[in-house]
A = this chain, B = another copy of it.
Amino acid sequence: MKTVTAEPLTKHAFRPFGDVIETEGAESLLINGGMCRRFNDLARVEAVGEGARVLVNIFRARPYPLPLKLAIVERHPLGSQAFVPLQPRPFLAIVCPDEAGRPGTPRAFLAQPGQGVNYARNTWHAVLTPIGGEVQDFLVIDRGGEGSNLEEFFFADPFEVRLPEAP
């Protein structure tokens, strides 16, 4: 089985796939008489097509054991999908470049506490993957409305996703 080793989640590395939602490196301004710092516009939210609107949801997800067998990815042609952890625990954001309508080799990004992700519209990604050993809640911002907004792809040869070896 081919192995994918997780890499750190950074804005730069993740840019082809969407946004990292974090305060680190974000523009900000003071508001409310100096009582609040606003880190502004951290994700490109898209919801297109008939009757489209932006949904706010909470996903309560069970953690996956590692190494992870990755057999399926999906994408949403009509909307972005953002995941922000509501507890300070890590999770894996697994994405694939598109290669002529099919997912290429996956990349796994290890999100640290304080980081969320927004998958850009039509970006191949694995299902939400907490790894911390405990059930984890995420705030999820995605699209509701009519239309076919899910495309799935099954890898004939699944991948194995691992964390890097501790140095």
Give A residues with C-beta under 8 Å from B: 21-23, 26, 31-33, 35-43, 45, 47, 53-62, 64, 82, 84, 86-88, 116, 118, 127-128, 137, 139-141, 144
A139 is contacted by which of B37, B57, B137, B139 (Cβ under 8 Å)? B139
Q: A45-B55, A59-B37 are in contact. Are A84 and B86 (CB under 8 A)?
A: yes
- Please classify the interface of chain A as helix (H, G, I), strand (E, B), loop, or mixed, using the class held by over half of its residues: strand
A53 CA / B88 CA spacing, docked (Å):
28
Do residues A35 and B127 form an inter-chain contact, with CB atoms below 8 A? yes
Copies of this chain, count: 2
A141 CA / B87 CA spacing, docked (Å):
18
Do residues A36 and B127 form an inter-chain contact, with CB atoms below 8 A? yes
Give the top 4 A-B pairs by smallest Cβ distance, nearest first: A43-B56, A36-B61, A39-B58, A32-B127
A40 is contacted by which of B57, B88, B137 (Cβ under 8 Å)? B57
A62 CA / B26 CA spacing, docked (Å):
19
Do residues B82 and A56 form an inter-chain contact, with CB atoms below 8 A? yes
Q: A32-B127, A127-B32, A141-B141 are in contact. Are A60 and B37 (CB under 8 A)?
A: yes
Q: How far is the CB of A93 from chain B (nearest CB, A)?
A: 15
A57 is contacted by which of B38, B55, B61, B118 (Cβ under 8 Å)? B38
Residues of B within 8 A of A56 (CB): 21, 41-43, 45, 82, 118, 141
